[in-house]
């Protein structure tokens, strides 16, 4: 973890990705909660402190009207190219998906509106012209945003292309996990 709270992609690859840091933030909060549940307040406080640093770093990645896709070794932020599904457009849903910001946050609302403006056909899997994976986690973020209409359309598309076809490749374990989570949420069990 660098002084700005963010982590490098690798020790020898000095790029701080929004996606990676959002996931790391979630992990830090989760390990802190686990230590708290185990009665180790000191370790819980340590990991919450690291998460707070990362939260500030991610908030500092806001550039104009979206999050930077990454921050380089010189501290420059790369604004998203909305025409690129991965990593640019998809990175924008990660702060909500990983609990960095609330769906009610103005930045969450702004990037979600921009995401849908640039990728209006995502619920019908239009992004597969660029990326063959189903990207269930995008639908999970849409559910968090309260967008039941797009989530319903997406679920129908996934049902036809993957579920009814016995889950052919490019379906894999991570997609299955996000799919189970999405179904649980849609059944009223929350995330």
**CB distance 108 to 102 below 8 Å:** yes
Q: pLDDT tens digits for 68-123?
A: 999 999 999 999 999 999 999 999 999 999 999 999 999 999 999 999 999 999 99
Check pLDDT > 90 for residue 191.
no
φ, ψ at 140 (rounded to 5°): -60, -40
State the first-to-last Cα distance of the chain, in angstroms, to the nearest integer.
Answer: 28
- What does the pLDDT average to over 154-178? 98
Q: pLDDT tens digits for 115-153?
A: 999 999 999 999 999 999 999 999 999 999 999 999 999
pLDDT tier for residue 189 given thresholds of 50, 70 and 90? confident
Question: What's CA 50's distance to the chain center, in Å?
Answer: 19
pLDDT tier for residue 190 given thresholds of 50, 70 and 90? confident
Q: pLDDT tens digits for 21-51?
A: 999 999 999 999 999 999 999 999 999 999 9
Which residues, including other chains, have CB under 8 Å from residue 46's CB and lie 6 or more apart?
32
Give the gyration radius of the chain's Cα atoms.
17
């Amino acid at each position: 973890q660098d002084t700005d709270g963010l982590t490098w992609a690798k020790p020898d690859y000095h790029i701080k990705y929004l996606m990676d840091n959002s996931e790391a933030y979630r992990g830090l909060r989760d390990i802190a909660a686990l230590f708290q549940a185990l009665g180790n307040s000191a370790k819980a406080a340590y990991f919450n402190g690291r998460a707070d640093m990362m939260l500030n770093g991610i908030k500092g990645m806001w550039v104009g009207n979206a999050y930077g896709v990454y921050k380089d070794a010189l501290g420059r932020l790369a604004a998203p190219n909305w025409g690129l599904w991965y990593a640019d457009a998809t990175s924008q849903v990660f702060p909500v998906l990983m609990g960095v910001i609330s769906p009610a946050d103005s930045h969450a609302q702004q990037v979600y509106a921009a995401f849908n403006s640039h990728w209006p056909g995502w619920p019908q899997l239009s992004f597969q012209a660029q990326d063959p994976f189903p990207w269930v986690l995008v639908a999970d973020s849409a559910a968090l945003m309260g967008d039941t209409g797009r989530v319903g359309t997406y679920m129908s598309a996934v049902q036809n292309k993957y579920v009814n076809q016995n889950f052919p490749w490019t379906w894999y374990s991570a997609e299955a996990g996000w799919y189970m989570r999405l179904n649980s949420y849609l059944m009223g069990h929350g995330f």
